[in-house]
């Protein structure tokens, strides 16, 4: 994958992920997280760490999911690897939180894992579509 294709895949994957996450976290599941996370949630978003996360995560998705799928010319591979990568990445946070944070809600873990799978699978698929 050349640099231009990589940057296009990065932009498509990142824009998809950011847009879907904004709708999910800011509208669809906002009340759910407020109910179950309570005072652990900040009233405002710290955008610098959030944007750093997106840059790192999207870079990893393009390198470990989109590029291998594009090399094999396989949409199914992009979807499957994206789902698995999302599960592994979101499980890192959620299962560590469940293990270490007192009273961390199991329902948050389950919903987050499902969201990580779906979000990363969709974003990876869009990145793949642009890269191929």
Overall pTM > 0.85: yes
Query: What is the domain extent for residue 108?
Result: 3-131
Percent of the chain with pLDDT over 70: 100
pLDDT tens digits, 49-75: 999 999 999 999 999 999 999 999 999
Instruction: Measure the CA–CA gap between 79 and 97, rounded to whole angstroms.
Output: 27
- Exposed e or buried b for every residue in 86-113, given b needs 16+ CB within 10 A? bbebbbeebeeeeeeeeebbeebbebbb
pLDDT tens digits, 86-115: 999 999 999 999 999 999 999 999 999 999
27 pLDDT more than 90: yes
Q: Would you state the pLDDT for residue 12?
A: 99
Count how many domains the chain has.
1
């Amino acid at each position: 994958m050349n640099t231009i294709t990589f940057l296009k895949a990065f932009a498509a994957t990142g824009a998809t992920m950011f847009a879907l996450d904004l709708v999910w976290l800011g509208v669809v599941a906002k009340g759910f997280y407020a109910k179950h996370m309570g005072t652990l949630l900040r009233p405002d978003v710290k955008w610098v760490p959030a944007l750093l996360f997106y840059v790192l995560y999207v870079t990893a998705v393009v390198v470990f999911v989109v590029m291998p799928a594009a090399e094999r010319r396989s949409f199914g591979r992009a979807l499957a690897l994206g789902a698995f990568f999302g599960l592994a990445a979101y499980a890192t946070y959620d299962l560590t939180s469940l293990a270490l944070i007192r009273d961390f809600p199991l329902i948050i873990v389950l919903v987050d894992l499902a969201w990580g799978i779906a979000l990363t699978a969709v974003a990876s698929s869009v990145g793949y579509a642009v890269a191929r």
